[in-house]
Structure 1
Amino acid sequence: MSTVERVTRRFIRPALWLLVVLPAPMLIAQLLLDQLGADPIDKLERLTGAWALRFLIASLAVTPLMWLTGWGWLVAQRKFLGLAAFFWAFGHLSVYTVLDWFFDWQEITKDILKHLYITLGMTAFVLMVPLALTSTKGAIKRLGGVRWNRLHSLVYVSVIAACLHFVWAVKKDITEPMIYGGIALVLLAVRVVGRPPARTKSVTVPSA
């Protein structure tokens, strides 16, 4: 094991935990201190959604990185990033349902059906639910590698829906969502087109 791999393996999980958790108290503090602008709820929705999309895209980047480096142990970080994306997506949805609509399910349903970008956002979240629920080793064992891989290919649809949701949700400058969308498309292309042939038939690495 090289020095770079050894150092990376030692510090990557603490660094990821810090990256996932730290924005939450910062956003809460900004909300309580009235530092989120004229429409704090809308700003909070956009920021939590942006973090969810960042981690979802980051989870897609892990497999190409594994191919490039040969670091098979990164598969655990891919699962971690996927769960982080779900955590932030749940936070994003919670802001929408609790702070924006105050649990008014009738109006929430109308809003989802009326606005395509909200429909896409809800679709992205719903597709992430079974992925989060089957992220354990036990779930992989129960489903089997082939079925687990098929189920987790839903991440491709989820990230596309999430990117479109972000683009259409932004009313003015779409630079940031377009950047995320471009990165996601590149990673999807690499995942689908650039997949290397398996070295042996006996080894199967589940894809996120």
Structure 2
Amino acid sequence: MRQVLRKPTAKLGLVLVCLIPFAWLCSGIFLDSLGPNPAEYLIRSTGDWTLRFLCITLLVTPLRVIFNMSELLKFRRNLGVLTFFYALMHALCYSVFDMGLAWDEIAEDIVKRPFIAVGFTGAVMLSLLAATSFNAAIKMLGAVRWRMLHRLVYAIAVLAILHFFWMRSGKQDFKEVFVYAGILGVLLGWRIWHAAHSRRQARV
């Protein structure tokens, strides 16, 4: 496993694999195989994949620490950018297929519908992380400020679950919401535990 992760082509391979869902959705558009309501299918699917990649991105650090696999760190940035990519596709599908790029109606929707406002806020925060995910941004901001900024990912995770919960509240269907909330809760809870444990170890 370590040898595979160390290969120069590993990053490219990861990106290509992670773009398979996007390619599948694109093929569905051209083949007209997305069901009776393609717009809703695209919006829901891109939202689901955003949450999945957010979970995978947050899983990197626990796996690295637990299994002592420093090789995983080099994939975290790519996974974060891919999370933003799917979030961007989610926002574009909503803006184009649901709202017809009517910007005044989109603005009104953000103001009137809480789950849209929460999703929009999370998308803006995620765009900040994507825009500062490169080495030049780390040098410009400084390592300390850069790390503080990128802790916004935890707030983004909470907003993503809240967005999903409010979206599903109309149908009273919360099964998937609870699954994602549980996964993200464990991942964030592990970080709190690990930080506290590291501080105790440092005092010993």
Do they fold alike, i.e. is TM over 0.5? yes
User: Runs ≥4 in structure 1, deviation > 6 angstroms?
Assistant: none
Correspondence for 1:68 among 66, 85, 89: 66
Higher helix content, 1 or 2: 2
Question: What is the TM-score when the length of structure 2 is the normalising length?
Answer: 0.88
What is the number of equivalent residue pairs in this alignment?
196
Contact persistence 2:5–2:72 (CA under 8 A): no
Q: Which whole-Å CA distance do the structure 2 matches of 1:122 and 1:148 have between them?
A: 22
Q: Which whole-Å CA distance do the structure 2 matches of 1:31 and 1:173 have between them?
A: 27
Correspondence for 1:5 among 2, 20, 26: 2
CA 1:15 to 1:172, structure 2 compared with 1: closer, same or farther past 3 Å? farther
1:9-158 equivalent positions in 2, closer than 5 A: 9-10=6-7, 12-158=10-156
Q: Which whole-Å CA distance do the structure 1 matches of 2:74 and 2:177 have between them?
A: 27
Q: Which residue of 2 aligns with 1:206?
A: none
Q: Which whole-Å CA distance do the structure 1 matches of 2:165 and 2:30 have between them?
A: 28
Pairwise CA distance, 1:23: 1.2
Question: What is the TM-score when the length of structure 1 is the normalising length?
Answer: 0.87
Contact persistence 2:2–2:71 (CA under 8 A): no
Pairwise CA distance, 1:41: 0.4
Pairwise CA distance, 1:5: 1.5
Q: Which residue of 2 aligns with 1:197?
A: 198
Q: Which amino acid aligns with 1:177?
A: V
CA 1:35 to 1:156, structure 2 compared with 1: closer, same or farther past 3 Å? same
Q: Which whole-Å CA distance do the structure 1 matches of 2:85 and 2:18 have between them?
A: 9
Q: Which amino acid aligns with 1:60?
A: L
More off after superposition, 148-157 vs 32-41? 32-41
Percent of matched pairs sharing the same residue: 40
Pairwise CA distance, 1:192: 2.1
Pairwise CA distance, 1:183: 0.2
Contact persistence 2:5–2:71 (CA under 8 A): no
Structure 2 unaligned blocks of 5 or more: none
Q: Which amino acid aligns with 1:113?
A: V
SS of residue paired to 2:32: coil
Q: Which amino acid aligns with 1:174?
A: F
Pick 1 or 2: higher relative contact order, CA cutoff 8 A, min separation 6.
Answer: 1
CA 1:152 to 1:119, structure 2 compared with 1: closer, same or farther past 3 Å? same
Structure 1 unaligned blocks of 5 or more: 202-208
Q: Which amino acid aligns with 2:67?
A: T
User: Deviations 1:37-69 (Å, cap 9, x if unpaired)?
Assistant: 222101110100111111111111111111112
